[in-house]
């Protein structure tokens, strides 16, 4: 099979969180590859079929899925917020999971479809926090997940929401695979998005010395969107359950200590003492 396996001709794509940043970049890229794109976000989005939804509200998610209708050949779950945002646990994880469940319930994710999410290096330590992550992800639905977090407020932060997402992706390679559906995520390095700009001192400073030494800038949204477009395409048909790190090599350089100054923070993110 040639280059057509990378294309989206005849496919319908849903991008959740496609107004700005990496989600917007993914929407533009798959559209350029032939997709019919529907974008969901909390604000209207010009240039695509647009559906407004607040992922903090289960009824709005249900209504948005009903409004979307039809078949979704590739879902991109891109919406995310930083610490300090009310409802972060719903926006970053519970809302996405509820939407995926709803799409399955309505038969909108057929065999051969794909799911691609945006995680974060903050979620890489999920395996070393497995018992807590599993009790949250496996033991709850949307409403009980909100209640779980209210009972465990120390976990209501960005890092834990991304750990939950990484675990969810790994776990469901099997569960979704039985339905013929792949699920993956990207783990972006620092990326120049509006969200990152609003947390610039923390998010964009991470790994700056490494990038300076190898001669690259912080990632652009397009550099992350291209990887998502690949993962959602037929070209990636044998990849599932993976969180693909897209950080110009910072993670590996820190783990292997080839770039020792990155080692402490990378080991912290993995939960390695």
**Cα distance between residue 7 and residue 71, in whole Å:** 17
Specify the range with the lowest mean pLDDT, choosing from 10-14, 135-139, 187-191, 204-208.
Answer: 204-208
**For 82, how many CA atoms within 13 A lie in the half-sphere containing its CB?**
10
Could you tell me the pLDDT band of residue 137, with boundaries at 50, 70 and 90? very high
- Starting at the earlier edge strand, list the strands of the sheet with 74-77: 49-52, 36-41, 12-16, 74-77, 114-118, 182-188, 243-246
Specify the range with the lowest mean pLDDT, choosing from 127-131, 173-177, 189-193, 218-222.
Answer: 189-193
Could you tell me the pLDDT band of residue 112, with boundaries at 50, 70 and 90? very high
**Cα distance between residue 78 and residue 65, in whole Å:** 16
Percent of the chain surpassing pLDDT 90:
87
Could you tell me the pLDDT band of residue 219, with boundaries at 50, 70 and 90? confident
Residue 193 pLDDT > 80 = no
Closest by CA to 39, choosing from 227, 85, 22, is 22
- Over the stretch 228-273, which tens digit does the pLDDT of each residue have? 999 999 999 999 999 999 999 999 999 999 999 999 999 999 999 8
Mean pLDDT of 66-72: 98
- Over the stretch 7-44, which tens digit does the pLDDT of each residue have? 999 999 999 999 999 999 999 999 999 999 999 999 99
Could you tell me the pLDDT band of residue 199, with boundaries at 50, 70 and 90? low
Residue 1 pLDDT > 60 = no
Per-position DSSP letters for the chain, written without gaps between them: --GGGG--TT-EEEEET-SSHHHHHHHHHHHHTT-EEEEEESS--TTSEEEE--TT-HHHHHHHHHHH-S--SEEEE-----TT-TTHHIIIIIHHHHHHHHHHHTT-S-TT-EEEEE--GGGGGGGGGHHHHHHHHTT--HHHHHHHHHH-GGG-SHHHHHHHHHHHHHHHHHHHHTTT-EEEEEEE-SB-SHHHHTTHHHHTTTTHHHHHHHT--SBPHHHHHHHHHHHHSGGGTT--S-EEEESTTHHHHHHTTSSGGGHHHHHHHHT--
Query: Which architecture does CATH list for 3-270?
Result: 3-Layer(aba) Sandwich (3.40)
Residue 149 CB contacts under 8 Å (≥ 6 apart), including other chains: 89, 136, 155, 156
- Over the stretch 92-108, which tens digit does the pLDDT of each residue have? 999 999 999 999 999 99
**Cα distance between residue 45 and residue 48, in whole Å:** 7
Could you tell me the pLDDT band of residue 2, with boundaries at 50, 70 and 90? low
Q: What is the pTM of this model?
A: 0.95
- Over the stretch 151-178, which tens digit does the pLDDT of each residue have? 999 999 999 999 999 999 999 999 999 9
pLDDT at residue number 207: 76
């Amino acid at each position: 099979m040639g280059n057509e396996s990378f294309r989206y001709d005849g496919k319908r794509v849903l991008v959740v969180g496609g107004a700005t940043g990496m989600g917007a970049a993914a929407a533009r890229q798959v559209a350029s590859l032939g997709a019919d794109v529907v974008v969901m976000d909390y604000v209207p989005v010009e240039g695509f079929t647009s559906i407004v939804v607040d992922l903090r509200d289960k009824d709005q998610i249900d209504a948005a899925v009903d409004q979307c209708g039809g078949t979704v050949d590739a879902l991109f779950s891109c919406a995310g917020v930083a610490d300090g945002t009310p409802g972060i646990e719903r926006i970053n994880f519970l809302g996405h999971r509820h939407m995926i469940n709803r799409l399955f319930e309505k038969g909108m994710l057929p065999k051969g479809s794909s799911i691609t999410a945006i995680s974060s290096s903050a979620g890489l330590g999920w395996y070393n926090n497995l018992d807590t992550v599993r009790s949250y992800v496996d033991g709850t639905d949307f409403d009980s997940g909100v209640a779980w977090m209210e009972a465990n407020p120390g976990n209501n932060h960005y890092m834990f929401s991304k750990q939950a997402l990484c675990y969810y992706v790994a776990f469901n390679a099997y569960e979704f695979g039985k339905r013929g559906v792949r699920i993956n995520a990207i783990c972006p390095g620092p990326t120049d998005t509006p969200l990152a700009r609003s947390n610039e001192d923390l998010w964009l400073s991470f790994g700056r010395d490494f990038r300076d030494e190898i001669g690259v800038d912080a990632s652009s949204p397009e550099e992350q969107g291209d990887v998502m477009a690949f993962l959602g395409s037929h070209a990636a048909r044998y990849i599932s359950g993976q969180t693909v790190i897209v950080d110009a090599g910072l993670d590996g350089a820190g783990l292997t200590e080839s770039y020792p100054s990155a080692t402490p923070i990378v080991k912290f993110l993995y939960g390695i003492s």
